[in-house]
Amino acid sequence: MNHSISRWQLVLLVISFIYGSSLLMAPGLTAAASYRDAWISMLLAVVMGVLLNVVWMMLLKRYNYLSIFSIVENVTGKWIGMFINFLIIFFGIHLAAYIVRNFSNFMVINVIPDSNEWTYQIMIILLAIYSCYYGLNNIASVNEFLLPWMLLLFALSVALIVNKFDLNQLKPVLNESFLSITQGAYNTLGFPFIEIILLGAVFTFVTQKEKIMKSYLMAVVFAGFILVFTVFLTVGTEGPYMVTRISYSTYAMMKDITIIELFERVEVVIAVVWIFGILIKICLCLFAALKGLQHISKHNNYHPFLLPVGIITWVMSNEIHRNTRDFTDFVAKYWTLWWFTLYVILVLIMIIGIALKKDKQT
């Protein structure tokens, strides 16, 4: 089981993590608050997300990118550290459960209606567990090979829909209030720009740590602008009214593509890109949780925890919300605050550790 990854592989993992579950939901989450100015909200979310991640990475750099679980234990001690580490583990499994639920909702509503959502949930969890079994290097290598192809498919899909883009759908610019635009940014700040702090369990395995901060932040910016462009294109193509009423408006936009009569349902291409992204994101969430359990238990590896964590993720994915509307409302209203709470806790711990000079002990 090999966990070592290169800096380039980390960059690609960050891109997959950010665009993963956000590609289809970002337009709806931003437009719900800022309507035709949704792309400005998304841009503001990217800027705020980058700033939060600059602080995060500067603190991690002081600890030489040690695992977040080790940092917490070194600063707070064994018992308090164990409690906070369990909190991080819970956040990781909880996020994985949300992504699994989002995936099954999407498949049942848009791709294969009237099918059993458990089929998709179990399938993607088994794939994630299998990937984690062979280690982080396996996840990163698969992502390194497939992500460029996924981005190419996305670019080709965009090229086929761009002729339906209507700039008038985005006018007048800044028509919404500053509060509405800020609310749209809030809806997508935690999802995905704060939840990416889970990668604090990954940096320690990067072999070239010299320019890791620069590479990481460039990846965040690049993936963020993919989301800004996606929101811009979706609102300009579907119109703000439709975007606010469709859960997966990016997918709906691609339904308008027909390449002669022989090739229809081209929207499946965007579904494949999105599903690949969420698989990588689930793998990273579970990997972080598994490494946390391994750290607490002092076990040689995390293999004994694979099946229990997979089962907990599946059960949680079915219990968290009653329906898609309830799911979307929770993400829009509370997700950023939920993850920002963990962010503040971990940032304060690292600052206290630096004040006590415990960063020098790493």
Q: Is the CB of residue 329 less than 8 Å from the CB of residue 187?
A: no
| DSSP one-letter code for 108 | I
* CA contacts within 13 A on the Cβ side of 138: 13
Average pLDDT of the chain to the nearest whole number: 92
Q: Is the CB of residue 234 less than 8 Å from the CB of residue 253?
A: yes
> Cα separations (Å) of 359 from 88, 143, 291, 352?
20, 32, 21, 10
pLDDT at 279 over 80: yes
Q: Is the CB of residue 247 less than 8 Å from the CB of residue 109?
A: yes
Residue 64 CA to residue 61 CA, distance in Å, equals 5
Residue 78 CA to residue 38 CA, distance in Å, equals 45
Residue 129 CA to residue 136 CA, distance in Å, equals 12
The architecture CATH gives domain 7-361: Up-down Bundle (1.20)
| DSSP one-letter code for 172 | S
At 217, give phi and psi (nearest 5°). -65, -35
Residue 309 CA to residue 290 CA, distance in Å, equals 8
Q: What is the pLDDT of residue 263?
A: 54
Q: What is the pLDDT of residue 337?
A: 96
One-character DSSP codes across 342-356: HHHHHHHHHHHHHHT
- The structure tokens 């294109």 sit at 233
Question: What b/e readout covers 324-348, taking b as 16+ CB neighbours within 10 angstroms?
Answer: beebbeebbeebbebbbebbeebee
Per DSSP, which regions of 156-294 are E strands?
A: none
Residue 128 CA to residue 285 CA, distance in Å, equals 10
Domain extents in the chain? 7-361
pTM: 0.95
Q: What is the pLDDT of residue 324?
A: 74
Residue type at position 272: V
Residues facing 206 on adjacent strands: 5
Q: Is the CB of residue 68 less than 8 Å from the CB of residue 201?
A: yes
pLDDT grade for 260, boundaries at 50, 70 and 90: low
Residue 246 CA to residue 346 CA, distance in Å, equals 36
Q: Is the CB of residue 301 less than 8 Å from the CB of residue 294?
A: yes
Q: Is the CB of residue 198 less than 8 Å from the CB of residue 281?
A: no
Which two three-digit tokens encode residue 290? 């598994």
pLDDT grade for 24, boundaries at 50, 70 and 90: confident
pLDDT at 262 over 80: no
pLDDT tens digit sequence for 284-320: 999 999 999 999 999 999 999 999 999 999 999 998 8
Q: Within 10 A of 207 (CB to CB), how many other CB atoms are there?
A: 11
pLDDT tens digit sequence for 236-256: 999 999 898 887 888 888 776
pLDDT tens digit sequence for 195-233: 999 999 999 999 988 889 999 999 999 999 999 999 999
Average of pLDDT values for 165-189? Answer: 93
